[in-house]
Amino acid sequence: MRIKIVFLFSLIFLLAACSDKNLTFLEGDKKNISEFKGSWLLINYWAGWCKPCLEEIPELNVFNSRSDVQVLAFNYDQLDGEALKEQIGKFGIEYRSLNTDPAPLFQLGKPTGLPATIVINPKGQYVEWLYGAQNKVSLEEVLSK
């Protein structure tokens, strides 16, 4: 009996781990990670109190306008709804914002500092965490790897 229970829980865990990797956006819609294949994906963790986070927003806006890159935001303080929309407008974020933490989809923990950006290559594979404010040079460098 005990073996059956362990097997059942193992099967449930395995099925959950194999489930779709969906990102949930501020507006409530979802998009599977696989839909981003073919483009670099930069998922940026930021907070309104983080000066370097705010300094990199214009650079991320520029990169988001490129055809080979998509930038997504995730508010480290996990603001949502109107509070998050207000900050997005206040700080001029032009790229889409996620409503749920994306790190678990890549089996990553929360970033250890801010700003932090998860880099996903065009094959949909995790490449690395970038820490600190990013700029054109640092972003171009990581995309050339």
pLDDT in tens, 69-106: 999 999 999 999 999 999 999 999 999 999 999 999 99
Pairing relation of β-strands 69-75 and 30-32? Answer: unpaired
The residues, ordered by sequence, that sit 6+ positions from 13 with a Cβ below 8 Å of its Cβ are none
CB 40 within 8 A of CB 68: yes
Q: Which domains, ranges and CATH numbers included, belong to the chain?
A: 21-143 (3.40.30.10)
What local confidence, expressed as pLDDT, does residue 145 receive? 84
Which of 4-18, 19-33, 103-117 shows the lowest per-residue confidence on average (mean pLDDT)?
A: 4-18
Q: What is the pTM (predicted TM-score) of this model? A: 0.85
What local confidence, expressed as pLDDT, does residue 98 receive? 97
- The token pair that represents 46 in the structure block: 């930021």
Q: Average pLDDT, whole number, for the chain?
A: 90
Q: Is the pLDDT of residue 15 over 60?
A: no
What local confidence, expressed as pLDDT, does residue 1 receive? 59
> In the chain, pLDDT over 70 holds for what percent of residues?
86
CB 68 within 8 A of CB 139: no
